[in-house]
Structure 1
């Protein structure tokens, strides 16, 4: 099939580097992380203490941007999906899964999983802990609407846009790709945050805190790189063991290779199993089964040693037991050449008698 040819050609491509230029927690990144933490705390404190940011929230909400520019409403309704966790996670995971397969590593998918886990843990806990109501559900003009059962502070769409699209720039393996993807991630993050304010689903302060929350997760990812590397090594080792273990199961079954089967032994059973002989009277397996000393017949028959007889001394032709004509299809005295006289085996061996025409 055509798909088989495509996958066969892809398998022949050389393996691409996977762990090149892994981000480290450098001094510059630590400074940026500390600045993002201070900005995060400042936004939360401004909402609780100062009225300037809350007043700005209400001014923008009462301005109602979606009524000022209604022509953009339909377009921005579709664009805001770029910040929803489900669709964006599926798109980015599909791309990173392709990269993982090409690079023969699980690091891209593991990094995405860690980032989303941190996003859900941090943003979700703050959302439900503060309980702020959105603009459409606000009850008191000029109030911060905190601890009222809401879940919009910080903005989940904005933080998700920063993390989901920013992880592509974080995992880039070349400086050019990192710059381009950083611009793409910034456009989606800024655009999604502004769109939520336009639609009236978030306050301005929600978007500011969402940007800070997403940026903190991206800046903190290098601290989790050792755990990601360990998980990648462990999962690949498990995959290799599963691949090597594909084959016959260690259980007695019909048609299984004998080399993969091991005969279980009970306590008190002999270490070496006796060979199986031809005669029923001298069969040690049957004797052991009948007396209960040799284990089960099925367990004994699975040992490959029972299928091969041990070496026995080679007897000469005169020491073998003669076979009666009724028990063998071979004609009597067939071991002599056809040109020799048919002398019985019991007759003494001597010179052959001369023929009458011998002279």
Structure 2
């Protein structure tokens, strides 16, 4: 009769989690190939083309105004409440916390800081590049537009390119960038594409961004992901520095607390003398003697054993004469006190 229970998918997941954490031999670090350099060049060209189309008030600006007058949030009001929550997946704070928690668990399992350092570098590049473009071009959003048909550039705004869209591309795309297998990378790439596409269109639906803002946000986020292999040596040096600093701090703490610890004084025994020390076998002792364990010396003074010669009794035996009997055979009272 078969009594073994078939393992479910959840049992296999928990069995995988119970394994001992191991550092992988190869983490599959992406490299800057010719294909990747070509994609970076194409993204830079698209970035410059979108900015130029907005500055010159071309057909792209006219499309922005048409979408704004269409007012998608009034056409489909039943999904407005749901999209208000969905757009949070593009905000920098909540998404950074969620992705950092997942990558922190991976760092602990793989005994490496590379996932967290890569996330920090990508977010730093995102804040610097997108933030500088927002402040430099100063475009106003649809809700604050002043002149119909204008590009609304250099008027003190901060919506070009879309920060929600670029952040969604980077934070969700970093999961695909750090995937440990080609299959996981394909699935995570599709997931990040859906998330960033949905977040960008949601901002257009809510009327917080122009359509051109979303296009430039997609290109800006993709450009950061494609350029990340250029910063891998910097991440490796940062990881070595952090680990070296950690080892130095632990060594300093160990030396400090080790020197401050005074040697323990011997404890006095019942007779007023010091308690015997525990003796162990020397380092080069035989393995058989080492298995016997340490031995203890009994407490109290250790005098020399008296040498006693054999004596004969009247009956011819070898029993020594008792010191507690006199000549008549009667026991002699002892003057010694009992020892506690």
* TM-score normalised by length of structure 2: 0.71
Q: Which residue of 2 aligns with 1:220?
A: 227
Cα distance in 2, alignment partners of residues 19 and 245 from structure 1: 32
Tell me if structure 2 keeps the 8 A contact 1:18–1:105. no
Cα distance in 2, alignment partners of residues 148 and 104 from structure 1: 49
* TM-score normalised by length of structure 1: 0.67
Asked if 1:154 corresponds to 2:161, the answer is yes
Alignment of 1:1-359 (within 5 A): 13-17=20-24, 19-249=26-256, 253=260, 255-256=261-262
Deviations 1:135-161 (A, max 9, x none): 000011001101111000000000000
Cα distance in 2, alignment partners of residues 252 and 178 from structure 1: 51
**Are the structure 2 counterparts of residues 247 and 11 from structure 1 closer, same or farther at C-alpha, using a change threshold of 3 Å?**
farther
- C-alpha RMSD of matched pairs (Å): 2.5
Cα distance in 1, alignment partners of residues 113 and 25 from structure 2: 9
CA shift, 1:16, in A, is: 4.2
CA shift, 1:241, in A, is: 2.8
Tell me if structure 1 keeps the 8 A contact 2:96–2:171. yes
In structure 2, the gaps of 5 or more residues are 1-15, 265-302, 309-340
Cα distance in 2, alignment partners of residues 18 and 123 from structure 1: 35
In structure 1, the gaps of 5 or more residues are 1-8, 259-333, 340-359
The alignment covers a number of residue pairs equal to 258
Deviations 1:205-264 (A, max 9, x none): 0000000000000000000001111111221222233333332527975x4359xxxxxx
CA shift, 1:56, in A, is: 0.3
CA shift, 1:103, in A, is: 0.4
CA shift, 1:20, in A, is: 2.2
Tell me if structure 2 keeps the 8 A contact 1:154–1:207. yes
**Are the structure 2 counterparts of residues 105 and 252 from structure 1 closer, same or farther at C-alpha, using a change threshold of 3 Å?**
closer
